[in-house]
Protein backbone atom coordinates (compact mmCIF):
# COMPACT_ATOMS: atom_id res chain seq x y z
CA UNK A 1 0.00 0.00 0.00
CA UNK A 2 1.35 3.40 -0.96
CA UNK A 3 1.34 6.50 1.22
CA UNK A 4 -1.61 8.13 -0.58
CA UNK A 5 -3.71 4.99 -0.10
CA UNK A 6 -2.95 4.87 3.62
CA UNK A 7 -3.82 8.57 3.93
CA UNK A 8 -7.23 7.72 2.44
CA UNK A 9 -7.54 4.90 4.96
CA UNK A 10 -6.81 7.33 7.81
CA UNK A 11 -9.42 9.73 6.43
CA UNK A 12 -11.94 6.86 6.46
CA UNK A 13 -10.95 6.06 10.05
CA UNK A 14 -11.62 9.65 11.07
CA UNK A 15 -15.13 9.33 9.67
CA UNK A 16 -15.76 5.84 11.07
CA UNK A 17 -14.51 6.83 14.53
CA UNK A 18 -16.68 9.92 14.79
CA UNK A 19 -19.07 9.37 17.67
CA UNK A 20 -21.04 10.98 20.43
CA UNK A 21 -18.92 13.89 21.72
CA UNK A 22 -15.92 12.05 20.25
CA UNK A 23 -13.71 12.55 17.22
CA UNK A 24 -10.25 11.51 16.13
CA UNK A 25 -7.43 12.94 14.06
CA UNK A 26 -4.88 10.80 12.25
CA UNK A 27 -1.92 11.62 10.06
CA UNK A 28 1.04 10.01 8.40
CA UNK A 29 4.04 11.23 6.42
CA UNK A 30 6.94 9.47 4.76
CA UNK A 31 10.23 11.31 4.40
CA UNK A 32 13.26 10.25 2.37
CA UNK A 33 16.96 10.79 3.05
CA UNK A 34 16.34 10.54 6.78
CA UNK A 35 19.16 8.62 8.36
CA UNK A 36 18.98 10.33 11.75
CA UNK A 37 16.61 12.20 14.01
CA UNK A 38 18.27 15.44 12.92
CA UNK A 39 17.45 14.72 9.26
CA UNK A 40 13.86 14.01 10.26
CA UNK A 41 13.57 17.22 12.32
CA UNK A 42 14.51 19.35 9.32
CA UNK A 43 11.96 17.66 7.07
CA UNK A 44 9.19 17.64 9.69
CA UNK A 45 9.37 21.45 9.86
CA UNK A 46 8.67 21.66 6.11
CA UNK A 47 5.33 19.87 6.58
CA UNK A 48 4.45 21.14 10.07
CA UNK A 49 6.16 24.54 10.44
CA UNK A 50 4.86 25.06 13.99
CA UNK A 51 6.34 21.76 15.22
CA UNK A 52 9.31 21.97 17.56
CA UNK A 53 11.36 18.80 16.96
CA UNK A 54 14.59 20.50 18.05
CA UNK A 55 13.16 21.30 21.47
CA UNK A 56 12.36 17.72 22.46
CA UNK A 57 14.19 14.52 23.13
CA UNK A 58 12.59 11.61 21.30
CA UNK A 59 12.22 8.43 23.32
CA UNK A 60 13.46 5.15 21.85
CA UNK A 61 10.80 2.45 22.18
CA UNK A 62 10.36 -1.14 21.09
CA UNK A 63 8.23 -2.46 18.26
CA UNK A 64 6.04 -4.17 20.86
CA UNK A 65 5.46 -0.91 22.78
CA UNK A 66 4.50 0.94 19.61
CA UNK A 67 2.05 -1.73 18.42
CA UNK A 68 0.51 -2.14 21.89
CA UNK A 69 -0.14 1.60 22.13
CA UNK A 70 -1.56 1.86 18.61
CA UNK A 71 -3.94 -1.05 19.21
CA UNK A 72 -5.09 0.37 22.56
CA UNK A 73 -5.83 3.74 20.94
CA UNK A 74 -7.64 2.21 17.96
CA UNK A 75 -9.73 -0.03 20.22
CA UNK A 76 -10.79 2.80 22.55
CA UNK A 77 -14.56 3.19 22.43
CA UNK A 78 -15.17 5.72 25.21
CA UNK A 79 -18.04 5.61 27.68
CA UNK A 80 -21.62 6.84 28.07
CA UNK A 81 -20.51 10.49 28.03
CA UNK A 82 -18.37 10.35 24.90
CA UNK A 83 -17.39 7.64 22.49
CA UNK A 84 -18.37 5.28 19.72
CA UNK A 85 -21.55 3.26 19.51
CA UNK A 86 -21.20 0.85 16.60
CA UNK A 87 -23.40 -1.89 15.26
CA UNK A 88 -21.83 -5.15 14.10
CA UNK A 89 -21.34 -4.05 10.49
CA UNK A 90 -19.86 -0.67 11.48
CA UNK A 91 -17.50 -2.40 13.90
CA UNK A 92 -16.32 -4.83 11.20
CA UNK A 93 -15.78 -2.00 8.70
CA UNK A 94 -13.83 -0.04 11.30
CA UNK A 95 -11.64 -3.02 12.20
CA UNK A 96 -10.91 -3.69 8.51
CA UNK A 97 -9.67 -0.12 8.00
CA UNK A 98 -7.68 -0.20 11.25
CA UNK A 99 -6.00 -3.43 10.09
CA UNK A 100 -4.86 -1.70 6.88
CA UNK A 101 -3.22 1.04 8.95
CA UNK A 102 -1.50 -1.42 11.29
CA UNK A 103 -0.26 -3.53 8.36
CA UNK A 104 1.26 -0.42 6.77
CA UNK A 105 3.04 0.42 10.04
CA UNK A 106 4.26 -3.19 10.45
CA UNK A 107 5.76 -3.12 6.95
CA UNK A 108 7.89 -0.18 8.03
CA UNK A 109 8.80 -1.86 11.31
CA UNK A 110 10.33 -4.81 9.52
CA UNK A 111 12.97 -2.48 8.06
CA UNK A 112 13.38 -0.17 11.04
CA UNK A 113 16.60 0.77 12.75
CA UNK A 114 15.05 3.04 15.37
CA UNK A 115 11.56 3.63 16.68
CA UNK A 116 10.85 6.80 18.63
CA UNK A 117 7.94 8.18 20.58
CA UNK A 118 7.73 11.88 19.74
CA UNK A 119 6.61 13.40 23.08
CA UNK A 120 5.26 16.78 21.98
CA UNK A 121 2.02 17.65 20.23
CA UNK A 122 2.97 21.28 19.51
CA UNK A 123 2.47 22.01 15.82
CA UNK A 124 1.11 18.53 15.04
CA UNK A 125 -2.60 18.32 14.06
CA UNK A 126 -5.06 16.99 16.61
CA UNK A 127 -6.29 17.83 20.06
CA UNK A 128 -5.49 15.15 22.63
CA UNK A 129 -8.12 14.48 25.28
CA UNK A 130 -8.52 10.72 25.80
CA UNK A 131 -5.52 9.38 23.90
CA UNK A 132 -2.81 10.53 21.56
CA UNK A 133 0.43 9.33 20.00
CA UNK A 134 3.20 10.49 17.70
CA UNK A 135 5.78 8.02 16.43
CA UNK A 136 8.82 8.14 14.20
CA UNK A 137 10.21 5.04 12.52
CA UNK A 138 13.60 5.37 10.83
CA UNK A 139 14.45 2.63 8.33
CA UNK A 140 17.75 1.37 6.97
CA UNK A 141 17.07 2.78 3.52
CA UNK A 142 16.72 6.36 4.77
CA UNK A 143 12.94 6.45 4.80
CA UNK A 144 11.25 7.85 7.86
CA UNK A 145 7.63 7.28 8.75
CA UNK A 146 5.97 9.78 11.07
CA UNK A 147 2.47 8.95 12.24
CA UNK A 148 0.19 10.53 14.80
CA UNK A 149 -3.28 10.25 16.19
CA UNK A 150 -5.44 11.77 18.90
CA UNK A 151 -8.99 11.69 20.21
CA UNK A 152 -10.95 14.61 21.54
CA UNK A 153 -14.45 15.73 22.38
Beta-carbon neighbour count of residue 123 at 10 Å? 14
Looking at the chain, the whole-number percentage of residues with pLDDT higher than 90 is 89
Residue 102 scores a pLDDT above 80 = yes
**What domains does the chain contain, in order, with CATH numbers?**
3-152 (3.40.1000.50)
The string of pLDDT tens digits covering residues 3-29 is 999 999 999 999 999 999 999 999 999
pLDDT class of 104 with cuts at 50, 70, 90: very high
- The closest of 132, 140, 5 to 69, measured between CA atoms, is 132
The string of pLDDT tens digits covering residues 49-89 is 999 999 999 999 999 999 999 999 999 999 888 999 899 99
Average pLDDT estimate for 91-100: 96
pLDDT class of 1 with cuts at 50, 70, 90: low
Residue-level pLDDT at 125: 95
Q: What is the pTM of this model?
A: 0.94
Q: How far apart are CA 17 and CA 118, in angstroms?
A: 23
Least confident of 66-70, 91-95, 109-113, 144-148: 109-113
Strands 23-31 and 132-139 turn out to be unpaired
At residue 99, the 3 state secondary structure works out as helix
Residue 105 scores a pLDDT above 90 = yes
Amino acid sequence: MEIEAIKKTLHKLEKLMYGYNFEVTFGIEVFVNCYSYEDFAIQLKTVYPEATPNEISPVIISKEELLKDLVECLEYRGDDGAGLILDELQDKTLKDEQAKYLQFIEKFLSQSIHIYAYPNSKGIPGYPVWWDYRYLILSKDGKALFTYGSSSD
